[in-house]
Amino acid sequence: MTTTPSTPTESALIDAAQFARLLSVSKPTIWRLKEAGKLPQEIALTSQVIRWRREVVMKWIDAGCPFNERNINEQGTAGRILPQTS
């Protein structure tokens, strides 16, 4: 049994523009965060086409946008890329 997106127009993969809208940031910010290794692992469909798994991104956002394990700051502690809102 395969899982389908919750709406017909919702894809299992999202592009940088969709990711930016989810975080309320610009596309250039998404690319900077990607280059800094602060986003979930991307999928390179080609050298010019990058996507992220929607399910992984949504879980990452629900977890508070933590750094990946590969992104540890100089003090050796994990952080968050976006400030917590109260």
- Give a yes or no: residue 18 inside a domain: yes
Kindly state whether residue 57 falls inside one of the protein's structural domains.
Answer: yes
**Alpha-helix runs per DSSP H in 1-78:** 16-23, 27-35, 54-62
Instruction: State the pLDDT at residue 31.
Output: 96
Q: Is residue 67 part of a domain?
A: no
Helix axes 54-62, 16-23, angle to 10 degrees: 20
pLDDT per residue as tens, the chain (86 positions): 455 555 556 789 999 999 999 999 999 999 999 999 999 999 999 999 999 999 999 999 999 988 765 444 443 444 555 555 55
| Number of independent structural domains in the chain | 1
> Residue 24 domain-assigned?
yes
**What token pair was written down for 7?**
């709406």
Q: In what order do the strands lie in the sheet with 43-44?
A: 13-14, 50-53, 43-44
- What residue numbers bound the domain in which 56 lies? 13-62
**What local confidence, expressed as pLDDT, does residue 17 receive?**
98
State residue 48's pLDDT score: 95
- Residue 5 within any structural domain of the chain: no
Residue 71 lies in a domain: no
Has residue 27 been placed in a domain?
Answer: yes
- What is the 8-class DSSP label of residue 78? -
Look at residue 56 and tell me if it is in a domain.
yes
pTM over 0.85: no
In eight-state DSSP terms, residue 45 is S
